[in-house]
Amino acid sequence: MNSADKLPSHSVLAEAGADCRRKSQLFAETLDPIFRTTMETPEHLGDFRAGLSTYFMGPALFLVADMLGTNYTFSRDPGRIARSGLDLIFVQLTLEGSDLRMLGGEAMTVEAGDISLFDLSRPMHSETRHCRNLTLVLPRHLLFGSEVQNDALHGLVLKGSTSIARLIGSHMRALFADMADITQAEAPAIVTATANLVTDLIAPQVAVRSQPSPTVRGAVIMEIRRYIEQNIAMPDLGPEHLCKVFGLSRASLYRLFEPIGGVTDHIRTRRLRAAFDMLANDGKRTVGEIAYACGFADISAFSRTFRHQFGMSPSEVREMDRKSPLARGSLEKQAATSVHDWLRIVGSL
């Protein structure tokens, strides 16, 4: 195969040696748009290994991660969600070891052979001492067309003892085995076929988890969300207004938004996210103008709510570009930055 046809890739491996600390930092920096990654100092350096390989498949990324020899934590909080802007789904096969996850206040253990899914637009926290996994990073539209179904993906775990997990797992292992031979021209069709396989196999579990209201169809759910996005500056945008516009009872509207934290919380979160994006990208308008444009009438209340949501003030967001964790320097850091670019490309599809 011509080298120009191969999938773009990037790898980092930290293990015992003179450059262990530098490689460990690069491992964490490569993951920075996804997780805040911390690693304890290993008790026995010879047992330590932190490896990450990333393959850019066009409409998806394929990650191979290997963690061993110390305690690792991976956290995705509302601030990181807003800063990264990634609206992607992880489909992950655990090959070895296990990890403990916290999602929405619920603790779960993911073990070798399990297939797990999580949504990068939602918070999560994971801890492990030994884990090796394969992850396919997909735009949500490649999975389900209904937002109710996609919302039900976060935290879904298929145990390795089930035939569905074994089928998805064997496919992901085959992908990994063939990764060096897959061409850039072949990759999009392979990604689509894989997404279709996953969607078809997990659909029954998703149907049980989503439990949509029989009086509200998926198309209406998407229409309500679209309406919220288009009218984010409207001061009276709330449950009463939405019920009038869409002819719903309060009970139906609340049931509809219950899986994602409630309608009021969803509107507030979308307003804050819109404000975050404007603060990061629009240097001309004042903080007050941006707050008003996102439906906040009181700038003091906006600032308090913003800090509570993202862990930083509106003015601090304006400084983020100067504090990027990957200043363009060494070739290694530039390569890690390319992984960040790949994530943004996939997230924009």
List the CATH number of the domain containing 21. 2.60.120.10
Whether the predicted pLDDT of 132 surpasses 70: yes
Whether the predicted pLDDT of 329 surpasses 50: no
Looking at residue 216, its pLDDT comes to: 41
| Shared domain check, 304 and 176 | no
| Shared domain check, 144 and 239 | no
Q: Provide the token pair at 121.
A: 């637009």
Q: Provide the token pair at 168.
A: 């998805």
| Shared domain check, 168 and 28 | yes
User: Mean pLDDT over residues 238-259, rounded?
Assistant: 86
| Shared domain check, 174 and 228 | no
Q: What are the residues whose beta carbons fall under 8 Å from the beta carbon of 272, sequence distance 6 or more?
A: 82, 294, 305, 306, 309, 310
Looking at residue 103, its pLDDT comes to: 87
| Shared domain check, 121 and 202 | yes
Q: Which long-range contacts (CB under 8 A, 24 or more apart) does 316-324 make?
A: 317/276, 317/279, 317/280, 318/279, 318/280, 318/283, 320/83, 320/280, 321/280
Q: Is 224 helix (H, G, I), strand (E, B) or coil?
A: helix
| Shared domain check, 243 and 189 | no
Looking at residue 321, its pLDDT comes to: 47
Q: Considering only 211-220, 263-272, 308-317, 334-343, which range has the smallest mean pLDDT?
A: 211-220
Give this prediction's pTM. 0.72
Q: pLDDT confidence of 90, banded at 50, 70, 90?
A: very high
Looking at residue 328, its pLDDT comes to: 40
| Shared domain check, 333 and 308 | no
Whether the predicted pLDDT of 173 surpasses 70: yes
Could you give the residue ranges of the DSSP H alpha helices within the chain? 20-30, 78-84, 147-151, 163-178, 187-210, 218-230, 239-246, 250-257, 263-281, 287-293, 299-310, 314-317, 331-348
User: Mean pLDDT over residues 197-215, rounded?
Assistant: 78
Provide the residue count of the chain.
Answer: 349
The number of domains in the chain is 2
Burial environment of residue 110 by CB neighbours within 10 A (0 to 12, 13 to 18, 19 or more): buried
Q: Provide the token pair at 153.
A: 């993906």
User: Mean pLDDT over residues 171-181, rounded?
Assistant: 96
| Shared domain check, 167 and 184 | yes
pLDDT tens for each residue of 38-81: 998 887 888 899 999 999 999 999 999 999 999 999 999 877 88
| Shared domain check, 195 and 225 | no
pLDDT tens for each residue of 257-291: 776 678 898 898 889 888 888 887 777 889 999 99
Q: Provide the token pair at 225.
A: 């969300």
Looking at residue 114, its pLDDT comes to: 97
| Shared domain check, 222 and 172 | no
Domain with 274 in it: 218-317
**Nearest Cα residue to 103 out of 67, 138, 68, 152:** 152
| Shared domain check, 250 and 144 | no
Q: What CATH number is associated with residue 259?
A: 1.10.10.60
User: Mean pLDDT over residues 222-242, rounded?
Assistant: 88
| Helix, strand, coil content of the chain in percent (nearest 5) | 50, 25, 25
Q: Considering only 159-163, 268-272, 331-335, which range has the smallest mean pLDDT?
A: 331-335
- pLDDT above 90 covers a percentage of the chain that reads 50
Q: What are the residues whose beta carbons fall under 8 Å from the beta carbon of 138, sequence distance 6 or more?
A: 59, 60, 88, 89, 91, 191, 195, 346
| Shared domain check, 307 and 225 | yes
